[in-house]
Amino acid sequence: SAIANQKLEMFFIAPPYIGQGYGRSIMAHLFSDFAIKSVDVNEQNAAAVRFYLKQHFEVLSRDERDDGGKPYPILHLGLKT
């Protein structure tokens, strides 16, 4: 994972470990140790969107294109207050 200014910039779990609780455990540490408050996710990655919503994030806004201008819709998520 990579973090900048309380924003989770990237977070990946190897496929064999998805669904085994590792993601939740790592996120708990990131929340407590780095006070993560936001993350961006590709809207087309339904599993990642579901994961972040379960981690108490909510959709704040949406862009039609990614930072590179490609047609990948990006959801900007923030921690629920």
Q: For domain 2-79, give the CATH number.
A: 3.40.630.30
- CA angle 33-39-44, nearest 5°? 140
The domains of the chain are located at 2-79
For residue range 16-74, list pLDDT tens digits in order.
999 999 999 999 999 999 999 999 999 999 999 999 999 999 999 999 999 999 999 99
Q: Three-state DSSP class for 73?
A: coil
Mark residue 27 as left, alpha or beta (left: phi above 0; alpha: psi -120 to 50; beta: remaining): alpha
pTM of the model: 0.90
Query: What pLDDT, on a 0 to 100 scale, did the predictor assign at position 23?
Result: 93
Band (pLDDT 50/70/90 cuts) for residue 7 is: very high
